[in-house]
Structures are given as structure tokens and as C-alpha cells.
Structure 1
Amino acid sequence: MAMSGGKDDGAPMMEMNTTPLIDVMLVLLIMFIITIPVATHAVNIDLPAPSEVPQNVDMNPIKNKVILTQDDLILWNGTPLNQNQFVATLQQSLALPVEPELQFQPDEFASYELSAQVLRIIKGSGATKFGFVGNEQYRDFGSGPKDVNATTRVP
């Protein structure tokens, strides 16, 4: 049993089939969208230049001492430096023909945070000759003052 969807008078079909045309146009549109580069937004920022090494820093070719004070100062052979200057001075000392020994001596009341930051900077610099100085001041660490009993509460 044959069914007819429209009139069939034997005349040729006068309407164009637009489905393949739409399919091709959609494929071209998708290819065009994929090939468009993603717009990137950039903001130009003028960053401050790192501070140079102070000219009065004493650079010893044999050994250099880094001291941390209780006031959170970094001293390089007695010269106070900020962290940027410390990094630059450390790199300058490592650029010497023979790497000098770096001695680290924190004050007994220096902050742990600054000590950790300085040790991280030293480790990241690639220094190989490194040592701790002044550990004898911590010989009685944890024992507390001599005149206080461990069971006594301090107000």
C-alpha cells in the first residue's frame, strides 16, 4: 500500500532542499568559531626595580655572618639589610670565585618567622657552605629559669 505525502501530478519539484545547505553553513560557522584566537587581556604594570646592594656592605671572601636580631633586623657582617638587599648581597657573595662560608646566627629572641624566611632564601640561593653559629646559647633550651619550679604557676 503506497502512501503519498503530497500531490503527485508528475511535475518536477520546484523547491530547493535547504537541509544540506544549513548543515554545511553550521559546520563552517563552528570551524570559524574554533579558529578565532581567544582575546587575552593584558595590563602593563611598571614594577619597582629591586634595591641595589648597599655600597657599605662588608663582603668577606672567607666567611660572612648573618645575624638576626630580636628587632627583626638582618645583619650581614654587622650591616643592617632588608630582605631584598639580603638576597642581592647573598647572590653577590655566591658570585665570588671561591664561595665564602655563610654563618647563620639568630638572636635567642629573634622571630621564628624571620628565621624561616632567611633560611628559605639561603636554601633557594644554592649556597653550599652554610653553618649555624651560637648554638651554645640554647644549651639549656626547655629547662626554664633555674628559680622556677615546674609545678609552680606563673601569673
Structure 2
Amino acid sequence: MAGGPGYGADDRPLSEINVTPLVDVMLVLLVIFIVTAPLLAQALRVDLPRANGVAGSETKVVTVTLLPDHTLLLDDHEVPMRALADLVRQRLTADPDLVARVAADGGIAYQEVAEVIGLLREGGVHRLAFATQQPATEGHPMSRVGR
């Protein structure tokens, strides 16, 4: 049988890798990236409309402060811990988008801060913020701003 196995066939294993399928896949991927790249860049541009004389809505913020002596302040007025939820609930009826900013001294135990957050949640607050300070050390990159 001419042309069958063993007749003139080279018995060596193929030592070359066929790169044609690899090149085909890479070219298809390249075409996909070339087509989609302008679409992605176009989706990122936002041209916001301009309006004169329209005031932005100002979010009302209530500040709850925990002092080092464990005194609780609501907008600079001392309040008992048990009355916090009711006072915040009253403020929420006037402004439903109220944000509560918690400013606790660094020495206050986490448990006490968690209790205040729980009382704020009980009072109906859904938006919380935590007041922090930027470190003012010489090595910090923000310490050179404005010099």
C-alpha cells in the first residue's frame, strides 16, 4: 500500500508548533480592541448642561460630638445619650435628607461610638459621615500644600 504508514513516512515527532491559530486569535482580539477603544473613551466624556442662577441643594448636616469626658453634643448643645434618637427623629421630620456627622475624640472607646451610631440609626438616620483630620506631620505630602 503506497503512501501508508511506514512507507517513506518520517517517524520523527513534529518539533514545530503551528502558530497560525495563535496569530488568528491575536488578530481577532486586536481588531476587537481597536473597535471598542473609541467607544469606551467616548462613554467617559460628560458634557454637563450649564444653568445660571440655579442654587445647588444644600445638604443639612447634624453633628454629633463625643468629647473626651464622654459628654455628648448635638450641634454644640449638650444632650443626654438616651434622648439622642428622639432629637434626631425630630430633625428628620423637618429634613428627610439629613446627614449625621459623628465627631468622636480619639480616646473614646469604639463601643461608645457604636452606641451613638446605633441611636442615630434608631432615630432614622440613613446617611452617616465621620469627621476626621489630616495628619500635619512634616513628612506627610499634604503638609506642604499651600506653602
- Normalised by the length of structure 1, the TM-score is 0.44
Structure holding more helix per residue: 2
**Bigger-Rg structure (1/2):** 1
